[in-house]
Structure 1
Amino acid sequence: MSPLPVTPLLFRHVRVAQIFGANTDVGKSIFATALCLASQRAEEEVHYLKPVSTGPDHEADEGHIHRFAPGVHASTLVQYGEAVSPHLAAARSGRAIPSDAQLVYDTHAHIQRIAAAPHRKASALYLETAGGVHSPTPAGGSFAHALRPLRLPTLLVGSCALGGISTTLSAYDALTLAGHDVRAILLFCDAMGGGGSAAGAAAAWGNAEYLIKWGAENSLPVFGLAGPRGHGAWGAPPDRLSDAQQDVRHLAAYYDGLVSGRGAEAGPAETPKGVSAVVKLLREEHEARIRDLDSMAQRTVDQCWWPFTQHTLTRGPRDVNVIDSANGDFFSVYDGAANGAADGSLLRPLLDGSASWWTQCLGHSDAGIARAAARAAARFGHVIFPNSTNLPALRLTEALLGTARESKAEGGGGERSLASLKAEDAPGSGWADRVFFSDDGSTGMEVGIKMAIASAALRYAPPRASSATLERTSRAREKGSAGGSRAAEEWQVLGLKGSYHGDTIGAMDACEPSTYSQAVHWYRGRGAWLDPPAVSIIDGEPTITLPGGEKRRYASLSSVYDVEERMRTDELWRRYTTELRAWLEGLVLVEGRRFGALIIEPLVLGAGGMIFVDPLFQRALIDVVRGAEDLFSLSEPPLKDAKVGAHSDGSRDAHEWRGLPVIFDEVFTGLWRLGHSTPAKILRTPPDISCLAKILTGGLVPMAVTLASRSIFSTFNQSENKADALLHGHSYTAHPVGCQVAFEAIARISQMQKRSELWREAQSDWSSSDGERETLHSPSHAPVWSFWSRAAVQRLSRARRVDSAMALGCVLALSIRDDAGSGSGYTSTASVDIVSKLRSARARLGGGGSGGGVTFDIHARPLGNVVYLMCSLNTPELVRREAENALIGALEA
């Protein structure tokens, strides 16, 4: 991935196209020259660019353009003297080898300079690649992947040689899979060989006829092109003549015919108007693309219904981000007014500061993730899962449970190995026994709640009385009856205020009344929720703020998150456990409520405002709930002489759930989002049920999994009656594409965890103080760290407009002081101006002090008075540092 936000290029006045070849020696340079000539005849100012060229200078393609298309502005960025593959030529040259990122950045800058120069008329630029689609770059990468950030309209030069049909279609598939927009295929017709080869005048193989028909069936223009070879013959370029001057005249005549075509005399597979027809198509598609982008915002406003959006606040098309594509951490956003850019760029980079609603972890359009999806789509599509299995689903299951095993059969065919994933790094390692698949986080939580409530009901629900008994005791069970008994209450959940588990009805009912739920007429909050103490950095100091406003300062962030040490030494542990037990007794003994689950978002309440909950409090809540079986086992509120605490579970399996089933909603916080494979590593206790989604599939496709312990699974597995089963499912359960992509993502992340220099540098940054360093490698404590720099978080925490700052893993969050009195929470407008400034931040990367480089803005979504930024697990350090600087600038402006 490029460390610089190189945006695809689109200009009104400069039309750009890149030329790939299906293989070497298919005629790329011939077609590039013909395209330049055709554009000149169309009265365009023409530019030609060869990023990398190999071979002697006098044979360079740039010189060929100058000779046969005078007036074309031709350039080469890197020239190697040896006529071999670029990676070999670079290695043998003795010169510094440009990285793929630097190569594409230099290419981008060259095109920008051309676009910024004065133009008297419409212009065209043709970029010719080296070799075939996946020919190596000087650094050894693939040209197709290296140039993907530019995402230029692409012409593929096919092969007219024997085997050329397969070669051409394979190249087309490779370009499409790499994310390129192939506009047309060009190839010579009526001859085999090409590119000036000696075999150019041999017999035809029918490649053009076949590919033209294939193109018509697949809505892709295919041009069969030919020029005069002499003696009335038309076809591929003629063989080189020994007389240099005669050879130049002969080839010039060939170009003239190749550009113009031979009209009515053209053969059945031949394009009558020659290469001029290709230029006409490119010009028309260029104009159509801009018209389409111009209209997309208004068409969307008129026809789409956005989530979490008040449409009346969208004033017009200028309020809509028209995302043309995405790559790495950046959107490529259309700006029809060009925003005053000197080069007239219609596309600009916009940092995806919310990680596209927290889904991204490896960056957009990742090549490995795309290949994984394509493999599964081509092999399976979708297949039914009940009483069935498929390899992607099974391998993902084993990866999540920590039971993955290697086999030669599983490791071949491009499949990634999980050799680098330790069993203890699996989110379900040591506690989970089963994986249930669903569609997204909300539905994953729905099934988790079903699992938990059913398990609690099986253990705690009183035996069903006969109808006669129910009739006889009905008056005594009414609310307010003299007997002190009341009708059986519905099952409820315990949780934290500020929680959010999704927008399906059951998930909503598991949360307190809020902006999200109060307008839903079916909503009825079924639970009891606590105000949690929060962790943040205030004026540079790690601080725990208790619900009443009391603040506790700590020496380091690591000491705050060293849960087991605080259980021994922090006075808050006794306070928490005492108050939580009293709270539970009030709910059950006084109010007579019945509970079936404890649900928490471990460590961070995301949608509730990026509230970093004191981990000691969450651990205390879990332990108190698990130790309160004496309360939850009561089927009715006790009379005055009732004994509490008589229940004993001494014979119970050590891994069986206790008290209430504990559900971890890890949709947002799981899978390394906070620096660890699961927040349970910090809380030092596992759940009984957990739900994972969002970055589970690397941000590519929607899918969720609900992990459950054996004791939860056994609730539904005690008879042969189908009605006792977990009657929950989704049509796309265990979707093979999602499973394959998730497996790839987990394998990639596990490798980064061990090998990534970015991770090591970030961990070192947060362990640089004595207090942090002491616990970095402590076996009893999972260290806390962030990709966001400690110095920046400290500075932000001291900013005048900031109440507090906090960072863990990928997340950086600021609580903005509300000077206007709009309140706090989701409806606050305190952060609106900060977000607005970020969207015109003009953060700069590269270029030094000369004013060069690339500028980008930042797309962020506020959570009331909270501004947050979210990076991927591989966001380059340069991008993170500039985003921090932009945020500091927005606050201090």
Structure 2
Amino acid sequence: MNKAYLWHPFTQMKDYNNSDPLIIERGEGIKLYDIQGRSYYDGFSSVWLNVHGHNVPELNQAITDQLGRVAHSTLLGMANIPAIELAEKLVEIAPKGLNKVFYSDSGATGVEIAIKMAFQYWHNLGLQGKKTFITMKQAYHGDTIGAVSVGAIPLYHDVFQPMLFPSHVIPYPYAYRHKDGAAGAMEDTLTALRVLLETRSDEIAALIVEPIVQGAGGIIVMPPGCLREMAALCRKHDVLLIADEVATGFGRTGAMFACDLEGVSPDLMVVGKGLTGGYLPVAATLATDEVYGAFYADYGEQKTFFHGHSFTGNPLGCAVALASLKLFKERNMLEGVIAKSSFVEQKLAALKERPHVGEIRQQGLMIGVELVRDKGSREPYDWADRIGVRAAARARELGMLTRPLGHVVVFIPPLASTEDELDSMTDILAASIVDVTEGGSTT
């Protein structure tokens, strides 16, 4: 029935239908179990969003308790208790100045909201000429049309080009491929942004950025200070800064939000994925009072933000998000991520010396291992080699699930993983890479 009826996202169905499909039946802790009863470590947090593990009693109970009250009530012109309480909590933990919360149901829709807010913000202020956006090379912000318009991964986005609005694209500070390393890459990025803002800020509404770590582009980590300098340039030239924290938020990078690592307070911030601990589809776009104020007017002025989703602020999702944030505090999750990140870095140190490992990129518990055909020349594998796919398949055989980004093998475990569990998962990660790139050699 799976092959007969389901069309899977980001999946070539011809390949899938010729494979042995994995069908998950249940989860417990950081493991998932298929219909044959086989267990697997969840080595990519079920697409980067699981925080506390699966089947967590406190999170289950939060949903059950709310289900006994009301499962859904719209936010269009009314409110519900969990949505109000979660908004207050998000403002409390967000970077300073983000005081208003607009809910949606996925990271992409949250980005779509941020883009529309930024556009209409300037429109409401009478500056209709500020209507374009800046994004970064290899950026990924979701799959709705607006989010794709500010995306810049050719494989995902080029086919839709005739449907999109144009964006300015500046280089991402990719130290690995720059002849002068991190400093040179950062300077190229800042120079490109500076020139663009100095010459065209009158037409630019906002810069959108994945703060500190570029996710789908290959787990690329910004040089220290780059985000801070980008934010300062935006402020100087009166351009809004949108921080897409969908992948990086809620402890994943070692801080509650990646922006916190450099003390950056954006004008708009999008969160999702880990917001509910990985349980239910809830996202949010946070805005400053200044942005909110541009929409706050008499009814007849027609400055209302005409946007919404049927399940916006769903009480079940907001209730489990509140329970997840409570566990963050009770279990000192952020401190734990810092210690676990160091442990993982040490465990993977030896893997850096393998002949087909070009680079291991890490920030917190976001790790990408880039595989190359030749370490000396940095020659990449061909797409047809399917090296990342093969490494992920081998990891599955060894008992861990992950999903590659091209030639980059991703390791993004649940934040609740213990050191013993991380020890086992990193062993599987290393073995799977060695097996597919060196023909099974372990020495």
TM-score exceeds 0.5 = yes
Number of the residue aligned with 1:232: none
> Aligned partners of 2:97 and 2:104: how far apart in 1?
20
Q: Which amino acid aligns with 1:581?
A: R
Q: Displaced runs of 4+ in structure 1, greater than 3 A? A: 457-460, 570-580, 583-586, 818-828
**Structure-1 residue corresponding to 2:231:** 622
Which whole-Å deviations, capped at 9, do the CAs of 1:607-640 have from their partners, x for residues lacking one?
1221112242222222112212xxxxxxxxxxxx
CA distance in 1, matches of 2:355, 2:188: 33
1:762-781 counterparts in 2 under 5 A? 763-764=338-339
Give 5+ residue unaligned stretches, structure 1.
1-298, 335-345, 403-425, 463-487, 535-543, 553-569, 629-658, 765-784, 842-856
Indicate the structure with greater helix content.
2
Question: Which is bigger in relative contact order (C-alpha 8 A, separation at least 6)?
Answer: 2
Partner of 2:7: 305
1:533 to 168, 173, 176: 173
Identify the residue that residue 288 of structure 2 maps to in structure 1: 709
| Residue 698 (str. 1) matches residue 294 (str. 2) | no
CA contact (8 A) 2:107 2:271 kept: yes
Q: How does 1:485-564 map to 2 (within 5 A)?
A: 491-512=131-152, 514-520=154-160, 522-534=162-174, 544-545=175-176, 548-552=178-182
Q: How does 1:277-426 map to 2 (within 5 A)?
A: 299-316=1-18, 318-334=19-35, 346-402=36-92, 426=93
Q: Is 1:829 aligned to 2:386, yes or no? A: yes
* Native 8 Å contact 2:139 2:153 kept in 1: no
2:358 is matched by which residue type in structure 1?
D
Match of 2:411 in 1: 869
Q: What secondary structure does 2:108 align onto?
A: helix
1:605: Cα distance to partner?
1.2
Contact 2:367-2:410 within 8 A present in 1 as well: yes
**Once the 2 structures are TM-superposed, how far is the Cα of residue 891 of structure 1 from its aligned partner?**
2.8
Q: Tell me how far 1:669 sits from its aligned partner.
A: 0.4
8 Å Cα contact 2:225/2:262 also seen in 1: yes
Pair 458,389 (structure 1): closer, same or farther in 2 beyond 3 Å: closer
Q: Cα 1:388–1:524, aligned 2, differ >3 Å: closer, same or farther?
A: closer
Could you give the per-residue CA deviations for residues 230-288 of structure 1, whole angstroms, max 9, x where no partner exists?
Answer: xxxxxxxxxxxxxxxxxxxxxxxxxxxxxxxxxxxxxxxxxxxxxxxxxxxxxxxxxxx
The answer to whether the 8 A contact 2:221-2:363 is kept is no
Q: What is the number of equivalent residue pairs in this alignment?
A: 433
User: Separation in 1 of the partners of 2:89 and 2:381?
Assistant: 41
Cα 1:510–1:330 shift into 2, 3 Å: same
Identity %: 26
Give 1:497 deviation, angstroms. 0.9
Q: CA deviation at 1:372?
A: 0.4
Q: Which amino acid aligns with 1:309?
A: T
1:637-684 alpha-carbon deviations (Å, 9 max, x no partner): xxxxxxxxxxxxxxxxxxxxxx11111101110111111111121122
SS of residue matched to 2:328: helix
CA-CA distance at 1:789 after TM superposition: 2.2
Write the distance in 2 (CA, Å) between the matches of 1:878 and 1:521.
Answer: 46
Query: Conserved in 1, the CA contact under 8 Å of 2:241 and 2:266?
Result: yes
The amino acid across from 1:830 in the alignment is I
Residue 513 to residue 526, structure 1, CA distance change in 2 (3 Å): farther
Amino acid at match of 2:305: L
For 2:194, the equivalent position in structure 1 comes to 581
| Structure 1 residue 790: Cα displacement | 2.6
Q: 1 CA distance for matches of 2:142 and 2:189?
A: 28
TM-score (normalised: structure 2)? 0.90
* Secondary structure of the structure 2 residue equivalent to 1:807: strand
C-alpha change, 1:748 and 1:454, in structure 2 (3 Å) is same
Q: Hey, what's the Cα distance between the residues in 2 that align with 1:725 and 1:719?
A: 9
Deviations 1:809-840 (A, max 9, x none): 22221111135999579887332332222122
Q: Aligned to 1:749, what secondary structure does the other structure show?
A: helix
2:347 is equivalent to residue 792 of structure 1: yes
The alpha-carbon deviation at position 871 of structure 1 amounts to 1.1
Kept in 2, the 8 Å contact 1:327–1:365? The answer is yes
Distance 2:185 2:390 in 1: 38
Q: Distance in 2 between matches of 1:573 and 1:804?
A: 18
Aligned ranges 1:406-805 → 2 under 5 Å: 426-428=93-95, 430-459=96-125, 461=127, 491-512=131-152, 514-520=154-160, 522-534=162-174, 544-545=175-176, 548-552=178-182, 577-585=190-198, 588=200, 594-628=203-237, 659-721=238-300, 723-753=302-332, 759-760=335-336, 763-764=338-339, 786=341, 788-805=343-360
Identify if the C-alpha distance between structure 1 residues 330 and 787 changes in structure 2 by more than 3 Å, giving closer, same or farther.
farther
Once residues 181 and 312 of structure 2 are traced to their aligned partners in structure 1, the CA distance between those partners, rounded to angstroms, is 46
- Give the AA of the match of 2:168: A
How big is the shift at 1:699?
Answer: 0.8
TM-score by length of 1: 0.46
**Could you say which residue in structure 1 is the equivalent of 2:437?**
none
Distance of 2:190 and 2:21 partners within structure 1:
49
In structure 2, the partner of 1:881 is 423
Aligned residue type for 2:361: M
Q: CA 1:525–1:615 in 2, change beyond 3 Å: closer, same or farther?
A: farther
Is the Cα contact below 8 Å between 2:234 and 2:240 reproduced in 1? no
